[in-house]
Amino acid sequence: MVRRPRLNPVAAAARNRVEDALTDVLLPAGAASGAAPEEAAPLVLVACSGGPDSLALAAAAVYFTKGGRCRVGAVVVDHGLQEDSAAVARRAAAQLAGLGLSPVEVRTVEVAATGMGPEAAARTARYAALDAAARESGAAAVLLGHTLDDQAEQVLLGLARGSGTRSLAGMPARRGPYRRPFLDLRRADTEEICSFYGLDPWHDPSNTDPAFARSRVRTQVLPYLEEQLGPGVAPALYRSARILGQDADYLEQLSSEAYAGLRAEAGGDILLPEEGLRTLPASLRQRVLALAAIEVGGTQPSFERLLAAETLLERRGSAGPVQLGGRVGVYRQVRGKSVLPGGPSYGNLVFRNNRPGTEPPSRSTQE
């Protein structure tokens, strides 16, 4: 009798994480028996770079093709940022096909030279390619290989930027079709999984390039903190992200409810009553102001811009407008000037997108 090799405990844990992430996607074991898997089982895509995290994720996910619980394919995004990127993508695709994933697709993207920085530009191009692949294939979910270490790095970067609760919550385990099953696994775990399956992962040289802030956090900052504070810094940052994520979800729910109860609309502008805003605690008030700015076509305002908008509620000095970004400004409606049809609307903050051809409000300084 031939003994089957015992499943590596870390590989078993990885399978469990994938199953938990796909509870709403996977069919019951054996549900597709008697029917072609292509016809009966939902498709799950793995976003794969060829690195240890995404290769390990692919190896864990493909297990669920047994019994027709799902089909598992992969998308390899070639950013074209290195001379050998095409060869790296082909090699990753070959390993994925060898694991049994199908379909396996390589998508080459062009990373725009914009003012957002190379990492952000590459991320934008990558998600555009993944969105298109999921849409065209009808995939039920897209799996991403981010680990606990990635989450810890994200939290530290957010702290360095002075970010708010949502940013410090790091990457969500689930957003739309995207799932991150490995957020509580260590990077070393994914390397062990690759070794167990005989995979040869690619190690991106940019991960150790000190030109990138994330690379410096990975190779210098986190090791230094571990040395000075003792082991366990990365898991502690991961726990903080989970706690802050719960807090952010609750605050966003409360602020959405408050915003829905306060907002009025007039000719494309959004009006929020000053009295209602003053009754809100600062954490909710700033979120409500941001929601109004975003609804009229702006971007998420900075903390400093939101504080400037709050000064309008003090009714001292200028009535605005305060610029919130994305051509959106907010001003205090002065006495005797109407925004809402049919009568005065004094007592509101007015959010307006100053698109070309739109006359901005006058700068009234006193009422």
Q: Are residues 86 and 220 in the same domain?
A: yes
Annotation: binding site for ATP: 49-54
Is 243 among the domain residues? no
Residue 32 has pLDDT above 70, yes or no: no
Annotation: binding site: 49-54
For residue 112, what pLDDT is reported? 73
Is 360 among the domain residues? no
Q: Are residues 177 and 139 in the same domain?
A: yes
For residue 367, what pLDDT is reported? 39
Q: Which domain holds residue 174?
A: 9-238
**101-151, pLDDT tens digit by residue?**
999 999 887 777 766 677 778 888 899 999 999 999 999 999 999 999 999
Please state the domain count of the chain: 2
334: which DSSP letter?
Answer: P
Both tokens assigned to 211: 């030109």
Residue indicated by tokens 């810890």:
152
Helices (H), 206-345: 213-216, 222-229, 233-262, 274-278, 282-295, 303-310
- CA 23 to the chain's CA centroid: 21
Residue indicated by tokens 């030279």:
113
Residue indicated by tokens 């074209």:
80
pTM for this model (two decimals): 0.83
Among 246, 248, 245, 251, which residue's Cα sits nearest to residue 169?
Answer: 245
* Alpha carbons 63 and 66: distance in angstroms, whole number: 6
Q: Are residues 54 and 181 in the same domain?
A: yes
Is 141 among the domain residues? yes
* Alpha carbons 187 and 53: distance in angstroms, whole number: 7
Is 244 among the domain residues? no
The domain that contains 88 carries what CATH number? Answer: 3.40.50.620
